[in-house]
Structure 1
């Protein structure tokens, strides 16, 4: 595949939407990455779970992006924008994860910036929020590197890995993104 199937590209990665055909590679990478992801997130590791996840990403209040290495086309990570609200709010909640083989290589930083640009320019959003468990140091560092500001703390915010988890709220506006 050429670069024309990417929504945006950087020096090392491109972002594109999920497809049904990504199921095998995505679930294999998710299974390999369970030790990295737990207890922070649980991406789909089975075909049935992927199919349900993919179906949800087709809803009008969601956008899903795969972060792919340009050199190989392989999936390095993923990012979703959920709970998209337009009108006066123009906001979305961002979630993301790197796969183990790509972690620590800066690919997610590049992919997150590309996805933010797409959300602000193509989706017309004004604000993106990232909710992160405070002990998830890699995810907090990624939000910080992307130019997000810490806005608050939400106790018992999301039910993850069998328990209600506290989260920090990080956010960035289109104006902040442009200034960074």
Structure 2
């Protein structure tokens, strides 16, 4: 098996695949190296125990986790999770994501996000994905805007992050908004 055979989907520069236990060392090292980029927005697992807990949670039926990896060398560029997946008439999920410092500003997360959107809408059968972003997180807002998400509202005191309840903007995208667009 070649490195590219592991991917669920591939674009020109990145592929997406599921998290594995074998990714623990690389992921946690990248999380530690990227702490300055992530703070105060997110806190990915930065040690083995936290990663193992995170990996176990991603095995729950209402979650999916994807690593966004560079095709050239397989290095993890970032990650995206779909949480609170609801099937039936709703067919929705909430996403969270993060880029690692070495990949930031290179367009790899944009490409990876588009791959995950196509996978979620085509393979997983979802219809709608939502993301909640703190208003001051302009890089994250720019990412979802590029992907075609629409701003749907504002949620005061929405998520408990870094010791306080934080306001968030609600962004969403549906399968129809992505249909026909290529990666």
TM superposition score normalised by structure 2 = 0.97
> 1:77 is paired with a residue of what secondary structure?
strand
Instruction: Give yes or no for the alignment of 1:2 onto 2:3.
Output: yes
Name the CA distance, whole Å, in 1 between partners of 2:3 and 2:167. 42
Question: How is 1:1-180 mapped onto 2 (pairs within 5 angstroms)?
Answer: 1-178=2-179, 180=181
Query: Where in structure 2 are there 5+ consecutive unaligned residues?
Result: none
Name the CA distance, whole Å, in 1 between partners of 2:161 and 2:123. 31
Name the CA distance, whole Å, in 1 between partners of 2:142 and 2:93. 20
Deviating above 3 A after TM superposition, structure 1's stretches of 4 or more consecutive aligned residues are none
Name the CA distance, whole Å, in 2 between partners of 1:134 and 1:111. 23
Query: Where in structure 1 are there 5+ consecutive unaligned residues?
Result: none
Name the CA distance, whole Å, in 2 between partners of 1:55 and 1:37. 22
Contact 2:3–2:74 under 8 Å retained in 1:
no
Q: How many residue pairs were aligned?
A: 180
- 1:8-39 CA distance string (max 9 Å, x none): 00000000000000000000000000000000
Name the CA distance, whole Å, in 1 between partners of 2:135 and 2:16. 27
Shift of 1:178: 1.1
